[in-house]
Amino acid sequence: MLGRQFIRMPRFARGLATQAGPITNLPATLHLKTGQSFHGRSFGAPKSIFGETVFSTSITSYTESMTDPSYRGQILVFTTPLIGNYGVPLNKAPFDNQDVGVVLESQNIQCAAVIVGDVAEKFSHYTAVESLASWCQRHGVPAITGVDTRAITRLLRDQGTTLGRVAVGSDASLPAPEAQEFWDPSTENLVDQVSTKVPYQLNPGGSIKIAVLDFGAKANILRSLVRRDAAVTVLPWNYDFNAVSDQYDGLFLTNGPGDPGHCMEAALKLRRTLQEWDKPVFGICMGHQIIGMAAGLEAYRMTFGNRGHNQPVLALASAGSIKAGRVYVTSQNHQYALKLEDPFPQGWEPFFINCNDSSVEGIKSTADSGRKVWGVQFHPESAGGPLDTIEMFTDFVLECKAHKLQTASFTPQKSVDSSPVDTFVKPTVMPRIAVHA
């Protein structure tokens, strides 16, 4: 009898899956500007939107992808057939030396809409508190299921990222919009929409002070810094860091959405920083592109970009935990990249290159430049994705600590008046980590 009970336990556990809830029978259609239409049914908010249609090859971590500010204004197509099977967790965490107030990558869903082949009718995970359907409805994000995402992905791969329209309910039966009606989010400064408006501080008791220029930061970037004992001050994307640079041991530039050309103001300010400041600088994704433009490189728009957790990159140089000649599997989400130029700007060299399309995946300052600057197009902190390059955060923090110790040994002790930025304390309310959509 006891043996039969144990045999039945897996079946019993499977029965604990929670019904996903209100998946409606409202019709929904995805119209592409290139003329194709895909018909399914709605499981998100009953509203219609315009956006830029992109695809992600991520197999898991749909909640992290959807809350990534780099997806601002985009209609996100998941190539994985089944989405929603493990639900959505409670998106709250403490503010301490281990976390930054949220579990996911920002406070709210950032993408404009979601397209999936088959949304799960049941979800099961010990941290789940709601279904993907109810989460989308609660955040006002339209979503479509029951369409051929393979066909959509092949179209986007062949013709490139395409403007789209998600039509829900009575709008689904209307004719496709005229070409001039489609909205192109890349014409707007999306970084300004998602960046923090006021500076705030995390983990003020950290042993080193890192300034973070927020172009639309994923929370796991900030989490990866505070967990390495850094006191982090998050600044707006166009903040004049040069005015307060003497207060910090390192500068970090985050990811962000849209065209880096809208952030030339930040690149010009960073150019001055790189000329006058000798402390470590690290940039990811949009931050990497800003570093490249400050160095004199040009950013260009890729055909369909790289989005997914399985992008291989080849290291062309060694630095810290990164070894030249090794291939690393990375998590990526970008539409733009830096041009590979020959010769490279003086004092700079390519760091990584994509094994699939040969695009530039990283740059770094040369050994003889006197600087410690790195930029990578991928996400070392993943969330989700592989952790092949996570130790780049450790490399950066260790360089900041080493420079601080070296500077302290040559600098006489003296009292310095604190500036307003230096006096920030942990807010009594949650800081706007990746301002909600």
* Residues taking part in catalysis: 285, 379, 381
Tokens of 142: 């339209």
**Residue 25 has what DSSP assignment?**
-
The crossing angle, in degrees rounded to 10, of helices 286-295 and 264-276 is 60
* Burial tier of 368 (Cβ tally within 10 Å: 0-12, 13-18, 19+): exposed
Look at the block and give the residue holding tokens 């800081």. 431
For 221, the 3-state DSSP assignment is helix
For 253, the 3-state DSSP assignment is strand
Q: Using an 8 Å Cβ cutoff, are 89 and 63 in contact?
A: yes
Terminal-residue alpha carbon distance, the chain = 55
User: Going by DSSP bridges, is the β-strand pair 208-214/250-253 parallel, antiparallel, or unpaired?
Assistant: parallel
Task: Judge if the upstream peptide bond of residue 384 is cis by omega within 30 degrees of 0.
Answer: yes
Buried b (16+ CB within 10 A) or exposed e, 164-177: bbbbbeebbeeebb
